[in-house]
Structure 1
Amino acid sequence: MSVEIKAPVFPESVADGTVATWHKKPGEAVKRDELIVDIETDKVVLEVVAPADGSLSEILKEEGDTVLSQEVLAHFTEGAAGGASDAKDSKASDAKAAESKGSNTKAADAKAEKSTGSAGPAARKAAAESGVSLDSVEGTGKGGRVTKSDVQNAKPAASAAPAPAASSPVAMAVGERVEKRVPMTRLRAKVAERLLEAKQSTAMLTTFNEVNMKPIMDLRKQYVDKFEKVHGVRLGFMSFFVKAAVEALKRFPAVNASIDGNDIVYHGYNDIGVAVSSDRGLVVPVLRNAEYMSLAEVEKTIMELGKKARDGKLSIDDMTGGTFTISNGGVFGSLLSTPILNPPQTAILGMHKIQDRPMAVNGQVVILPMMYLAVSYDHRLIDGKEAVSFLVAMKELIEDPARLLLEI
């Protein structure tokens, strides 16, 4: 029985998709619910699985082709194991291999004979010293024998050329200038489009501050083992920043707002996006209603979303919406940066590397683990006073974690 393999139903915000990877070939046996093909959209990768045991009989859309929602991708035959086709191909391949075996063996023998027997000791020594392959040298000696002069007149292979001595001024041979052109993935193209849109359509400005991470680090060190034992997840820094952001957003609702045409939309909830770097590019899964989450729930949700991002399993719902974003460039060693807005949001917080620095505390120089914080904001909606005050509130909450519990 033949059935049609169709593209998934795309969400309203997704116009079309691209065939990314066929995981099965025509005639290859497929089990029910086994992955057949990936469809890449500008937001997520959608998987298409086998409707039953069988095999693909025909592929209609090749990798790189654009497809619409519910468009037919291939024909599928239920119950076909693909064994007959594989066996037939295998027999043909074996026959072809047997037919060419004799000629290949003769060619290999001739090649070996040329490499050893048709070149004298002097020629072989010269070839080893100069990096010349004897197979590429045309012999001018008696009976086609390769001579030393033949080797000296031959051009050495670039890859086999020995490195010159350190004291020798001989210039290194220049290799080929290789270029590779590949099309952007849909996700990368969409990220590029949105970043360019953010730069061109917003009045973006960034303000900076620094935060002493020692109180949080001491608290984490004291309770990290017990926290993991009770909640089954490690206590990281991101959960503190998410909770501090929620509290600061309550005090400065404009930072949690967005612009829609000539209207300002104030959100009565805190959906915090957490920027995650994946093999496919930058994605921003969202923590829904973060104001109701405990530190443990934040850590668990971030861990689950991070795993889904690495596995390419994030759904449209996982990344839709968001009222404020946090980006942690510090995990890659960034000391300072200016994060770009994630439209239609009007602010984004950038975390950075924790670095020991000498700081003045009560007239004394003390070495403290410091982190630079950056808030980029849309000046059309958020004034400098609000942005700076928001960042100061974040600093105070992180430097005195008890404020998070007391909400002061």
Structure 2
Amino acid sequence: MPTLTEGGNAPLTSSSVRVSVAGPVDVTALVLNADGKVAGDDDMVFFNQPSAPGVRLDGTALAIELTGLRPGADKVVVVASPEAQGATFAGTAVRLRVEAGGDPVEFSPSRLGSETVVVLAELYRRGGDWKVRAVGQGYADGLAGLATDFGVDVDEPAAAPAAPAPAPTAPGVSFTKGEEKLPAEMREKLNLRKQQVAVVLTKHRMTGLRCRVVVVLDVSGSTSGLYRRGVFSRAVERVAPVAAQVDDGAEMQAWAMGGQAEQLEDITIGTLPQWIERYTAKRYTGAGGWNNEKAAIEDVAGYVARNPLDIPTLVLFFHDGGVTDNGGTERALRAVEGEPVFWQFIGIGRSDYGVLEKLDTLRGRTHDNTGFFALDDLDRVSDAELYDRILQEFPSWVRSYYPPGAPALQGLS
């Protein structure tokens, strides 16, 4: 298999190109004009915007149809950044593979260290033909350096005078991918709230915690007023910083719980305003109008089983009360006791929470995989108190569930 070195090139013998990247990275593609600049925001393909004309991102692989690129496109640049927030490429091996009809070619950049973004390769037009060139150019100043070279309109926290990121008051607070797309006020709140989450994690000796975060929203008929008053919108905005702090992708999977369980689009920081507007501006009716906690528990647990990680999953289950099937809910939670999932139920409806109020006293379990607290008025609870209550029982469960030396415990004291 041909292997390229920095500066080396090879012809592309097909207009259909697949570019895959192996390594713990996020992948971005930039579609450029002949002057080497993007034409606008739509020319950047990444996890928050996974497609553009002729380019589609799937995980760490790009499907590129050269004949389908927008008019004026002359080059496609493939960029990688470390998956972990704040990390560099020091000690990280990355390998690029390009397939376009003939023999695939590969490239591994050398001499990477303090860089936080690297241009791996470029697909470029030469006359009437297309070629791929291995690049391997890194940027120690991350997105800012990338923006300077390619005209990408991306603001680093220090370059946003309208909404400067506050100085961290707790360890482990860093720039979150996608936050540059938020309105100024929402971005400022995000950074303040990330600090509060970091303080709580420090308190529980969990500063290195990594986990997947899932949000389940009650959409039964009785929640209509809560949605109309914006309670669920504010709830989602306030828990997003938890994912921004503990999830490497700064995202949350989301479910609606009504008469059935329905998985919604993932929540990412960059698309948070649009997600809130689509799913919480009013009650989502696609899942039916009554409560089926058992279905939601089983559906989320099934997703976790199909998508295993070596880190835990924290489920934040917002419920307005009126549990329909106490026995079925309890049995469903007992059935998933052995799974790497902690279920934190949050009451926001001033109603009868049934079995949820007894979760801390359920007997006969090896692991206490559940927690519950009720908020009579979400808006009267400070961020510090909210995050303290969300993370009150989860750390103890993590330490009791995982054996010593497990990857999930790395970085925890």
Same-fold call, TM cutoff 0.5: no
Relative contact order (C-alpha < 8 Å, sep 6+): which is higher? 1
TM category (shorter chain) comes to: under 0.3
Higher helix share: 1
